[in-house]
């Protein structure tokens, strides 16, 4: 009997932890769905732009062909230029679809080992249309590479976008933000620099409940550094979860890999 009690207590504790995690996941799902919709809409707008340019170029080629049929000299250089434009847009469209595919697959695995610098660069690529609309240029600078973390990729992407969106409200006159990830035991520190107009009052509205849920789910910490003019996010190198043991046992250790 004495041997079974610790096991029972352990199972009960595990059940409590799993229910708490499920509650966090349910709370994060709503914010995650809105985030997924916003990113998908932005990506689809990019695709529409490339199709529009290709359609316009194809129409001009058709006009040149009609003029040639009526006896006018065909402008070969103009046709080549329009063909090159279409080719560039095809390549751009292919890359956009690749990015959209990679973004969509971040929801496939609850936990995944990612190379953080690559992941941050990917986030900026996917959100570039949205940051450009605000007139803000964002770049990743890191002295440490690789930086491997086991995390929840989709929810981390969601949190980092919210951090970036908040940072754009406080960007300086240069309209430039810099994301600087660095290893700092026992975890990882991500700083968003360039928030030159940041004030202590900024913390009244951020993090809001959705961000607090994401922070709890990712076991992350957030602070506003007014002196450094930075937003600071601290991540664990590995998100802890009982069910993650199954992930670890079924995943060969081959170093950090980016999200698919």
pLDDT in tens, the chain (260 residues): 444 445 555 545 445 445 556 677 777 888 888 999 999 999 999 999 999 999 999 999 999 999 999 989 989 999 999 999 999 999 999 999 999 999 999 998 889 999 999 999 999 999 999 999 999 999 999 988 899 999 999 999 999 999 999 999 999 999 999 999 999 888 999 999 999 888 878 878 899 999 999 999 999 999 999 888 999 999 999 987 655 444 444 444 444 333 33
Closest of 165, 163, 182, 168 to residue 231, by C-alpha = 163
Strand pairing report for 176-184 and 112-115:
unpaired
Domains and CATH numbers, the chain: 109-250 (3.30.565.10)
Q: Which residues of 24-61 are buried (b: 16+ CB within 10 A; e: fewer)?
A: beebbeebbeebbeebeebbeebeeebeebbeebeeeb
Q: Can you tell me the distance from the alpha carbon of 146 to that of 116, in angstroms, rounded to the nearest whole number?
A: 7
Residue 179 near residue 168 (C-beta atoms within 8 A):
no
Nearest to 116 by CA among 176, 168, 184: 184
């Amino acid at each position: 009997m004495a041997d079974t009690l610790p096991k029972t207590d352990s199972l009960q504790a595990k059940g409590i932890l799993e229910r708490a995690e499920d509650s966090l996941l349910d709370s994060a799902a709503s914010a995650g769905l809105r985030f997924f919709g916003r990113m998908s809409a932005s990506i689809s707008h990019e695709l529409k732009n490339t199709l529009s340019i290709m359609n316009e170029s194809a129409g001009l080629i058709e006009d040149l062909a009609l003029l040639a049929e009526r006896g006018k000299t065909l402008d070969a250089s103009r046709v080549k230029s329009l063909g090159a434009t279409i080719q560039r847009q095809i390549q751009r469209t292919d890359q956009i679809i690749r990015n959209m595919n990679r973004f969509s697959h971040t929801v496939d695995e609850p936990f995944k080992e990612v190379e953080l610098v690559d992941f941050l660069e990917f986030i900026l690529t996917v959100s570039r249309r949205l940051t450009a609309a605000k007139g803000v240029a964002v770049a990743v600078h890191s002295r440490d590479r690789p930086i491997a973390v086991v995390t929840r990729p989709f929810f981390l992407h969601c949190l980092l976008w919210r951090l970036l969106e908040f940072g754009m409200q406080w960007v300086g006159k240069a309209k430039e933000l810099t994301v600087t990830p660095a290893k700092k035991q026992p975890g990882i520190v991500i700083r968003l620099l360039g928030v030159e107009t940041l004030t202590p009052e900024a913390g009244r509205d951020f993090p809001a409940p959705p961000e607090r849920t994401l922070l709890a789910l990712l076991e992350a910490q957030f602070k506003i550094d007014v002196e450094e003019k930075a937003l600071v996010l601290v991540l664990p190198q590995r998100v802890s979860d009982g069910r993650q043991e199954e992930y670890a046992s079924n995943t060969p250790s081959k170093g950090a890999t980016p999200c698919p």
